[in-house]
Every structure is written in structure tokens, then in C-alpha cells.
Structure 1
């Protein structure tokens, strides 16, 4: 199969957008192209993993972090499941990479010989971003933003059509959200149980600093009063 195409009035919008976005490489310096190629291939996925870890250190300080930590555990699991789901999809569609069928593209990453639809990178990135959103909205919005940048980079690099990226976003989002209720129902009790453990509980709850002991008020010495009282007793005697 040739893969999905966007066509309006006979024009192939998918290919047109591919050439428009990849064509930006003609006006960018070579060092920037290399940087975007590295970021699109490795950097943004690493950044998303770091974001998950950062979110974990943040939510562990909450009074009730179990649900958020369970959501963070679900994020990489969802990404892995989405990529596994993509394997038969790519084998069924069998869409060649854009540089195979179209001339004049600037290819920033070499060695891509597998099929194009859907993009694994876009799938992974969006699944992680949406999984982060399940755990924490602020971190999730940042993650979704990084996923969108990842999708743009894949087209800019000349290794994916726009519909490959959109399909990856849809697959990552659908896998994460559709399976989230079942995943959270299974993971939340597990995370709660781990949180009760003395050692493993640090994975769920941050160690809280012990409250400072309040100073014990000692009774004021009454030596002077006792001496004075003793003197009066002697005089009286």
C-alpha cells in the first residue's frame, strides 16, 4: 500500500507540505541542520525521559502522590505498547520513506530503510507527553509541546511525511488514553502498596524532614526565693 495521502483539487498536500518543511533546510546553516537532525533523532526523546524523571521528583513531595506516580509509570508503558501496535500497522501499510519516492529532498539522517507510516518517534513522543498529562497537567503540556516539535523535526529531516507524524500522534494519544483507565486501576494499588514499604516507599513518597523538637521550658530556679525564705525563718525563730 502507498499509504495515506491528503489531496485537495488534485494537489497532494502531504507531499507539498513535505517539500515546504524540508525545503527550509536550503536557507538554514549546515550546523543548524546537523543540530536539528540530532535533536529529532535522539535529543527530544531524551528530553522527554528527563521530563518524566523531573515530574517524578516533583509529585513525590505531594501529600498523596500515589495516583500521580502511577500515571508516570503508565507513560513509558503506554509508549512501549504504542510502538508495538505500530509494528503490524507499518507492515500492513508498507509505505516507503519519502526520500525513496521523491527527489530533491535534503536528508539529514541516513540509514533509514524501514517503512514510513506511522512514525515511531512521533508515536513515542506523544505517548510520553499524554502520559505525563495524565500524571500532571503542567508537565504534560510541556511534554506534548516537545512531541509536536519532534513531529516537525521528523518532516524537516526528510524521513517522514506529515501524515506519518499525524498518524503517530493519533496512535500515541489513543493508546495512552484508551488504556489509561485499566492501567491506572491496576497500577494505583500497586504503587500504593509500594509506598507503604520502608525502603521502596521512597520511590513513591519523598522523605520528609523531621519536625524540629520544641524546646522544653524548664522551671525558673528559685534559689534566691528559697534563701530569702530561709533567712526570714531564722529571724522569726
Structure 2
């Protein structure tokens, strides 16, 4: 079957680490009993990163204004990293593995040809959360790192991405999210301090919060 024209014009990343991709998807084939659970996790698992950011915000209510500024900056940092990754994805236009390696084993369904592979959006969110939480709470950041490794592996396991799509997502997301968090953490405490004295105080501070 001839690939659609849009696919033929897109970048084929199978020459980079297609053999490793095939080894991992062969493992998925050998563990078919786990396919449904992994496919469910690879999408729903993103909720874990949202919960970690919520935990950071909840804890920051008892801390000083810089901590709250960092907590509020976390989702902004993740969204910023995701937007940057999506721009790069359109520029690179790497075709999904299911088009380049159609005879491999795939758990996930093949997306539209215009839904490109590099970098992995799921992994971008996961690894951006690590960086976004790093200045706020190292423990939460470490937990995010553990789940991010799992998330990245599952993206290859289900056949949605090559390993380099996952690694590339981390390389892009970590510095973008960290710098965004650092910038907002340094510039926003004054605004947060003012908001803490107004109607939003219950959301931003407890009665015993540090100044």
C-alpha cells in the first residue's frame, strides 16, 4: 500500500533508532496480556503530573509568597514547554512509526498523517513537570521523575513514538520549563503577596502562612 503524499514528504525517523523501537514493540507483543493496562496508563497517567502540581500548590498555601509563586508557575511552565514542543513538532514533521514501520507490532492505533511524532507530547508534559516542581519541592520533582520514566517508556511500548522522540521531548521540556518556573518564581512574589491579602487569600494562603 502506498503511503499518503503527506506521509511521503514527512521526515522518516526510523533510521535513527528503528531497531530499538522494534525491540520494544516486540516486547509489547510478548506481553500482550499487559497491553490494555499500559495503553490506559499512557494517557490517564498524565493525571498524576496534574495531581503533583496540585499537591505543590496545596503545600505552598502554608509557605511564603515565593513558594506560592513557584506553585502557580508550575502549570504555566508545563504549558509553555508543551507549546514550544508542538512548534518544533510541526517544523520537524517526523512521520509516526506506524507509517514507517507498518509491519511492527502496535498497541496504539495509527493517528492521522499530520499528527507527527517528534517530540513526544506526553513525555513533554511529564518531564516539564519535573523541572516545574524542582524549585518548589524536590521530593515532588523526584516523584514526577519516576513517573516520567514510566510515561516515556509506555509511549514507545504502545508504538506511538520512537525512543528519540521521548529523549528529545525531555531535552526540550526540562530547560524550557525550568527557566519559565525560575523567571516567574523571581518576578511574581510581589503580585502573589498582594493577591494573598484579597479575595483569593483562601486559595493562596492559610491563616498561618509565612510572609
Instruction: Place the TM-score, normalised by the shorter chain, in its bin.
Output: 0.7 to 0.9
Aligned to 1:150: 151
TM-score, structure 1 normalization: 0.76
Aligned to 1:48: 49
Q: Is the 8 A contact 2:85 2:173 kept in 1?
A: no
Aligned to 2:7: none
Alignment partners' CA distance in 2, 1:147 and 1:134: 17
Counterpart selection for 2:23 from 16, 20, 23: 20
Aligned to 1:166: 167
Alignment partners' CA distance in 2, 1:51 and 1:88: 26
Is 1:203 paired with 2:206? no
Alignment partners' CA distance in 1, 2:141 and 2:172: 17
Aligned to 2:119: 118
Aligned to 1:141: 142
CA shift digits 1:175-203 (9 cap, x unpaired): 11233332223322222221222x31122
TM-score, structure 2 normalization: 0.85
Q: Is 118-127 or 98-107 further displaced after alignment?
A: 98-107
| TM-superposed deviation, 1:36 | 0.6
Aligned residues between the structures:
197
CA shift digits 1:102-131 (9 cap, x unpaired): 133222222522110111111111111210
Report matched runs for 1:54-203 at 5 Å: 54-62=55-63, 64=64, 66-113=65-112, 114-197=115-198, 199-203=199-203
Segments of structure 1 that go 5 or more residues without pairing to the other structure are 6-11, 209-237
Aligned to 2:4: none
Local SS of the residue matching 2:45 = helix
Segments of structure 2 that go 5 or more residues without pairing to the other structure are 1-9
CA shift digits 1:30-49 (9 cap, x unpaired): 3x2111111112x2211110
Local SS of the residue matching 2:103 = coil
Aligned to 1:225: none
CA shift digits 1:117-165 (9 cap, x unpaired): 1111111111112101121110111112211211111000101001101
Q: Is the 8 A contact 1:3 1:93 kept in 2?
A: no
Larger radius of gyration: 1
Q: Is the 8 A contact 1:3 1:117 kept in 2?
A: no
Q: Is the 8 A contact 2:60 2:68 kept in 1?
A: yes
Q: Is the 8 A contact 1:44 1:150 kept in 2?
A: yes
Cα distance change on mapping 1:111 and 1:101 into 2, 3 Å: closer
